[in-house]
Amino acid sequence: MQTKTLNRDKPAAALALRCRGLVLIVDDDEDNRTLLRDPLEAHGYEIVEAENGEQALQKVEQRPPDVILLDVMMPRMDGFEVCRRLKKDARTAPIPVLIITALSERMERMMGIAAGASDFLSKPVDLQELILRVNHAVHAKHLFDQLQAEQARAEHLLLNILPRPIAERMKRGEVNIADHHPDVTVLVADLVGFTTLTAHIGPDQVVYLLNEIFSGFDVLAEKHGLEKIKTIGDAYMVAGGIPLPRPDHAEAIVELALDLMAEIEKFNRAYNTSIHLRIGISTGSVVAGVIGRRKFTYDLWGDSVNLACRLESLGPAGSIQVSETTYERLKDRYRFDGSQTIEIKGHGKELVHTLYGPLSSFCGPEGPPPAPSAQRRTPKGSDALEPFGSQLPRRFERCG
């Protein structure tokens, strides 16, 4: 009688209440499923039914429920086995399983606990108890889902700050993270002309344009499998060979440098600007580590970092300046010119080379165009610009 009353009122109640969760009822007896389904639907739950264990596992695979009401005594695959299979799968293990059984012996309940059951309901099922236990299980599942979502967001934020291998070490409880990397290539790029531009546009446009540029750089760094280290104002630092070593880090970095130059040209065409890039590249050893306790920063230190910064600051706008160590690794595959010895503060004399591109991209035996004039260099901090590309030859003519 009680079931019929609930069934008669079900449409109105279901409309009055929003869906509180998805419940999978697993029982080989249709009358038992109806007895459980009607009051739960009346309380706002969406119901899915399965008449055996195999069908239940298929339903869970198709659409994971918030809670499962699982009969024990079923043919072929009993409820204990269904529960064990669910708990072995990491995707379905968090789903609460309420075992419904006429068995009252302590041994059977222990078997259910061992299989991974969250709770029990005894037959004949008390409908008030049914609603209370399902409410509790669904609430617990929703809290778990919220926690998982928060953890995923926190991990996403952490990965925006730290490389994945470093983030994993921090999650395992490692506090003082500092590593020596003997073979790394560092790239430092600076936007020449952006400071002048910011004097003529609003702050929202400044941030928007800088975000457009650096977001494009981020995509390219990820494409080449390189690690963005940081941005400082309108400067951008990226490295290859950290936090995990790779043998082709120098090549990957110079390919990125060429792509960054092309990206800036594309940006200038899109926004009618004349921003230039100035890039310095150096290869050698660095120390890398995490600084901070409340706000984390993954950073690099060493002569290679300092040299890359100095090469960038001393180069002409629109150029890619490469250290001798990087040049030696790539001279057989890339075109360099404008080699000169310069005095670098804190480093002494350094032979510097200007990168133009891969040898395979250029035609003719006539050699590279003349190196840029020293008088045309744009020191870091100066925004006196000539038209984009006037400081350097555009590139050799491409084959084909």
Query: Considering 104, 128, 160, which residue would you say is the last residue of a domain?
Result: 160
Find tokens 């629109």 and name the residue.
318
Considering the domain architecture, whether residues 129 and 247 belong to the same structural domain is answered as no
Phi, psi of 345 (to 5 degrees): -55, 130
Is 39 within 8 Å of 131 (Cβ atoms)?
yes
Considering the domain architecture, whether residues 322 and 195 belong to the same structural domain is answered as yes
Cα-based angle 286, 287, 291 (whole degrees, multiple of 5): 140
Give a yes or no: residue 46 inside a domain. Answer: yes
- Distance CA(130)–CA(132), nearest Å, equals 6
**pLDDT at residue 362 in the model:** 66
Report the CATH number at residue 205. 3.30.70.1230
Report the CATH number at residue 30. 3.40.50.2300
Give a yes or no: residue 387 inside a domain. Answer: no
* Tens-digit pLDDT profile for residues 92-118: 999 999 988 776 667 777 888 888 888
* Average pLDDT, integer, range 285-295: 87
What are the C-alpha distances in Å from 182 to residues 136, 169, 293?
A: 56, 20, 27
**pLDDT at residue 111 in the model:** 83
Closest C-alpha among 232, 228, 225, 226 to residue 210 = 232
Dihedral of CA 246/247/249/251: which sign?
A: negative
Query: Considering 101, 135, 160, which residue would you say is the last residue of a domain?
Result: 160
Q: Is the pLDDT of residue 383 over 70?
A: no
Peptide bond into 369 cis (omega under 30): no
Other CB atoms within a 10 A radius of the CB of residue 196 amount to 14
Is 162 within 8 Å of 170 (Cβ atoms)?
yes
Count of residues making up the chain: 400
Question: Using only C-alpha atoms, what is the Rg of the chain?
Answer: 33
Considering the domain architecture, whether residues 58 and 146 belong to the same structural domain is answered as yes
Considering the domain architecture, whether residues 245 and 319 belong to the same structural domain is answered as yes
Considering the domain architecture, whether residues 318 and 262 belong to the same structural domain is answered as yes
Cα-based angle 222, 228, 234 (whole degrees, multiple of 5): 115
* Tens-digit pLDDT profile for residues 185-213: 999 999 998 988 888 889 999 999 999 99
Considering the domain architecture, whether residues 305 and 183 belong to the same structural domain is answered as yes
**pLDDT at residue 116 in the model:** 87
Give a yes or no: residue 382 inside a domain. Answer: no
- Distance CA(49)–CA(64), nearest Å, equals 13
Considering the domain architecture, whether residues 154 and 225 belong to the same structural domain is answered as no
H/E stretch holding 190: strand 178-192
Alpha helices (H) along the chain: 2-16, 30-42, 53-62, 79-88, 106-115, 127-161, 164-171, 194-198, 203-223, 249-271, 303-314, 324-330
Q: Is the pLDDT of residue 397 over 70?
A: no
Give a yes or no: residue 69 inside a domain. Answer: yes
Give a yes or no: residue 272 inside a domain. Answer: yes
* Average pLDDT, integer, range 213-232: 95
Considering the domain architecture, whether residues 16 and 71 belong to the same structural domain is answered as yes
Considering the domain architecture, whether residues 108 and 218 belong to the same structural domain is answered as no
- What domain range is 346 assigned to? 175-362
Give a yes or no: residue 322 inside a domain. Answer: yes
* Tens-digit pLDDT profile for residues 82-95: 999 999 998 999 99
* Tens-digit pLDDT profile for residues 236-272: 999 999 999 999 999 999 999 999 999 999 999 999 9
Considering the domain architecture, whether residues 208 and 328 belong to the same structural domain is answered as yes
Query: How many domains in the chain?
Result: 2
Give a yes or no: residue 380 inside a domain. Answer: no
Considering the domain architecture, whether residues 355 and 208 belong to the same structural domain is answered as yes
Give a yes or no: residue 111 inside a domain. Answer: yes
Q: Is the pLDDT of residue 294 over 80?
A: no
Is 98 within 8 Å of 27 (Cβ atoms)?
no
User: pTM for the complete prediction?
Assistant: 0.64
Considering the domain architecture, whether residues 136 and 252 belong to the same structural domain is answered as no
Express as a percent the part of the chain with pLDDT over 90.
53
